[in-house]
Amino acid sequence: MDTLKALMVFMTTAENGSFSDAARKLGVSPAAISQSIARLEQELEVRLFNRTTRQLTLTEDGRRFYAQCRGPVNNLDTAISQLKASRDEPAGHLRVSMPNSFGRRFILPLMGEFCERYPKIKVFFGLDDHFSDLIEDGYDVGVRIGMMPDSRMVARHLAYIPLYVVASPAYLAAHGRPTKVEDLSEQDCINFQFPTSGRLYKWEFDRNGERVPVEVQGTYTLNEMEAVCEIARLGLGIAQLPGHEVMPYIRAGELEAVMTDMVSLERSIYICFPHRDHIAPRTRVFVDFLVEKLADHPDIVAELPGLDFSAKRKAHQERLDETGA
């Protein structure tokens, strides 16, 4: 016997006072209601209703049983109503994973407006450059920088990342300005080491539409992008960094970009979430909010005066479309 279904039939019958009214309410026949009540009485070994040709009334046991069932059913009704309401109004706890530097610079400053717009959403931020597994670690949303994310994820493309080779004016005055890939062998290049794998990042260039990865050598190796940027600002080497890391320093004259005719746009910023179906409203509005606020952000698009990456973006997108990425 389906106990929960039988209990709902019993509650509906008790509240409507007849098998026929309960049947209309539940969309079944009066005979089906009668049979369900009879099976429940047999299961419980107690009579729940007094039946006459004119009237259907609860027995003393039936009234006591109804009172005991009413509380849990009310709780269940409340839980269902709240769940339905949450589908319409963004609310609840949202867990967001994002890179440390990017999150601090671009996302955290937006949260005052987001929380004012959606006051019932409570946000936890995991700032982590190790790119934790969103599903395994229970995150609702992840901001990811690099190549196309895990295929299990739904990914909203936010922006292409220009990769600039930069150095301080003092460094360039002392060591010269490289103009081609081969010149880098004569430079003190700052290496970035991925925190998770320990492997060194290969610099990337776009040479006539072809992606050119380059291994570089130098005095310093660091495993944090902000630290790489700081070493370059101090004049201790030349670095390749995402545009969003270096734009404020280029504008301030603390860094200069070189080899700008070979800037690569192979990497992107994505906003990812684990589920394609039944996306919670809190997840949907957060993703839409970030796209609204950041898609055209000048420090993320990061085009220097005199540079136009529209052709490169178009070519890169065409390559992605051809590969199905």
pLDDT of 94 over the 80 cut: yes
Q: Where are the domains of the chain?
A: 3-88, 92-159+267-310, 161-266
State the pLDDT at residue 79. Answer: 66
- Which residue type, as a one-letter code, is found at position 101? S
Contact (CB, 8 A) for 130 and 196: yes
Domains 92-159+267-310 and 161-266 share a fold: yes
Confidence of residue 72 (pLDDT cuts 50, 70, 90): confident
Query: What is the tens place of the pLDDT at every residue in 186-213?
Result: 999 999 998 777 889 899 999 888 889 9
State the pLDDT at residue 302. Answer: 83
Higher pLDDT, residue 100 or 237: 237
Q: Is 149 helix (H, G, I), strand (E, B) or coil?
A: coil
State the pLDDT at residue 244. Answer: 92
pLDDT of 146 over the 90 cut: no
The DSSP symbol for 224 reads -
d(CA 157, CA 271): 7
What sign results for the dihedral spanned by CA atoms 74, 75, 79, 82? positive
Fold of 3-88: Arc Repressor Mutant, subunit A (1.10.10)
pLDDT of 27 over the 70 cut: yes
In 3D space, the residue among 80, 54, 89, 64 whose CA is nearest the CA of residue 10 turns out to be 64
- The token pair that represents 74 in the structure block: 């009310």
Q: Is 210 helix (H, G, I), strand (E, B) or coil?
A: strand
Percent of the chain scoring above 70 in pLDDT: 89
d(CA 42, CA 142): 54
Query: What is the tens place of the pLDDT at every residue in 236-295?
Result: 999 999 999 999 999 999 999 999 999 998 788 999 888 766 688 899 999 999 999 998
State the pLDDT at residue 252. Answer: 94
Higher pLDDT, residue 253 or 65: 253
pLDDT of 216 over the 80 cut: yes
d(CA 225, CA 7): 61
Query: What is the tens place of the pLDDT at every residue in 286-325?
Result: 999 999 999 888 888 888 887 777 777 777 666 655 655 4
State the pLDDT at residue 133. Answer: 75
Angstrom CA distances, 268 to 64, 250, 283, stand at 64, 21, 21
Percent of the chain scoring above 90 in pLDDT: 40
Look over the chain and give the mean of its residue pLDDT values, rounded to a whole number: 86
State the pLDDT at residue 325. Answer: 47
Angle, vertex CA 206, rays to CA 204 and CA 211, nearest 5: 65
Higher pLDDT, residue 83 or 162: 162
pTM, to two decimals: 0.68
Fold of 161-266: D-Maltodextrin-Binding Protein; domain 2 (3.40.190)
Query: What is the tens place of the pLDDT at every residue in 108-140?
Result: 999 999 999 999 999 999 987 776 677 778 889
Architecture of domain 92-159+267-310: 3-Layer(aba) Sandwich (3.40)
